[in-house]
Structure 1
């Protein structure tokens, strides 16, 4: 039986401390802030990031350097037979395609998973990979299973401000101005490769209900009407922990019997585009393999 190492990046929301407890490795995502390079969870905390965001600092996301990725794999392969690498969605960053190209030099010992996950759903994939490795699956088998089930998850996000969607070019200044005047609360979705617009609401309460309705529809249609014990429901936020805890209670009331797990921060790579004050809910079909 192969000894398989699991690698992900900090877009999963898995901290260095949690990674050590899980027995996995996490590559910190790099950011350039006002010309200086930072690494998530190393010399950049969530609190510091949102303070920079508040100050309108010039923030740009990047991807781990090829050297840092390959050096980690080489170090792990001294102890393990194979590596499963689970990066953020290829539709949201080039880091996945870079990793796939780099893995060509490792004679199949490194398997890069392109299953279009990020943040909480990416974290669930990492947990699945750990379980599959312990069950004796090879790195290739783990990659194939995770990619076969890549679309069995959804994230819905409502934002508190249109400022960052405008700044990132995802909406025009005119749309942002009208939306701000009307106090619209956009609901965004990540299903697969992209962060897309899903709906609009006039209040945060309406936005929360829209997200709950969307998750219920996914469970009944995309997930095939599975039972409560076959779905994880998780809550995420951007610098909005207290409201996220309140939203968790609402989710538990709306979905009795379902597992409502994490209340976690959305990855900083997503936060760059939506700002603070957001709420999100993720639905992930539980992998039974």
Structure 2
């Protein structure tokens, strides 16, 4: 019997190449548009959400993976692996964690982890679990080590417009209008499993991203430099390449991994959002 199977949901924003490299299986959340439920990244793409928002002035709704689909996912591997470890989007952001926990009760060897994060903040946790599984560690030990790593993941993003947060009910129309009027680009940080507003940049998104990267990386000695994700929601190649060069200038990471945000994440942050996500010592 094979050892440990690692699974996650689509909001981890892990590229197909990484999923294949570490033999990770993923399950999509849902985007509900005009009464139709569409699988994130399978039946709908972020560009479809942006087009819909531009045309209608409103956002589709996001929804969690149903319990029965988690049961199907876990059932696919529970009999052929010693254990299944599933890493979820943070429980403060969605009921996916709760649904996965309910489904896991149907099996004796399924472990569900709340990443307390989103996007490739969760992605870091997933990759760490996969690397530990490759080492042949038992499931209980992997879960313990992962829970120690979770608080050390530093996830943040710079958002180009607050319109999507406004349409999603996460900020007021006045706040969004004021931010857009003053050309403010807020840095959204994930702290203790919740999104908080950090430093606010002013000016074009390209310059705001440059300042943000310098603020996050310059002169820091508490960063684990094995891997950093540059995750974006449709930024230009020029912005992505410039971000990569800045990262290399201020920290010597072994891997710089560029991924694009899923529909669920993009639905809340909107286009031209970019974040750098890494771990602290």
TM-score by length of 2: 0.89
Q: Distance in 1 between matches of 2:16 and 2:68?
A: 19
What per-residue deviation string (whole Å, max 9, x for no partner) do you get for residues 178-223 of structure 1? 2221111111112331121112111232453134313458x54xxx
Deviation at 1:163, TM superposition (A): 0.8
Moved over 6 A (4+): none
Deviation at 1:15, TM superposition (A): 5.1
Q: Distance in 2 between matches of 1:76 and 1:241?
A: 39
CA contact (8 A) 2:124 2:278 kept: no
- Farther-moved stretch of structure 1 (68-77 vs 96-105): 96-105
* 1:180-191 equivalences in 2 (<5 Å): 180-191=180-191
Deviation at 1:101, TM superposition (A): 2.8
**Match for residue 154 of structure 1?**
154
* 1:73-222 equivalences in 2 (<5 Å): 73-107=74-108, 109-203=109-203, 204=205, 205-216=207-218, 219-220=220-221
Superposed CA RMSD in Å reads 2.3
Deviation at 1:171, TM superposition (A): 2.2
Closer/same/farther in 2, CA of residues 14 and 258 from structure 1, 3 Å limit: closer
CA contact (8 A) 2:158 2:187 kept: yes
Secondary structure of the structure 1 residue equivalent to 2:106: helix
Q: Distance in 2 between matches of 1:260 and 1:19?
A: 16
Closer/same/farther in 2, CA of residues 210 and 72 from structure 1, 3 Å limit: closer
**Match for residue 251 of structure 1?**
247
Secondary structure of the structure 1 residue equivalent to 2:234: coil
Secondary structure of the structure 2 residue equivalent to 1:282: strand
What per-residue deviation string (whole Å, max 9, x for no partner) do you get for residues 129-156 of structure 1? 1221121112222111111111111122
Secondary structure of the structure 2 residue equivalent to 1:90: coil
What per-residue deviation string (whole Å, max 9, x for no partner) do you get for residues 206-252 of structure 1? 453134313458x54xxxx35xx645322111111412222111221
Closer/same/farther in 2, CA of residues 262 and 54 from structure 1, 3 Å limit: farther
Q: Distance in 2 between matches of 1:101 and 1:80?
A: 20
Deviation at 1:95, TM superposition (A): 0.7
What per-residue deviation string (whole Å, max 9, x for no partner) do you get for residues 113-140 of structure 1? 1231322222222221122112111222
Instruction: Select the structure that is richer in strand.
Output: 2
Q: Distance in 2 between matches of 1:19 and 1:231?
A: 18
**Match for residue 280 of structure 1?**
275
**Match for residue 66 of structure 2?**
65
Q: Distance in 2 between matches of 1:259 and 1:173?
A: 42
Closer/same/farther in 2, CA of residues 230 and 58 from structure 1, 3 Å limit: closer
Count of residues paired in the alignment: 277
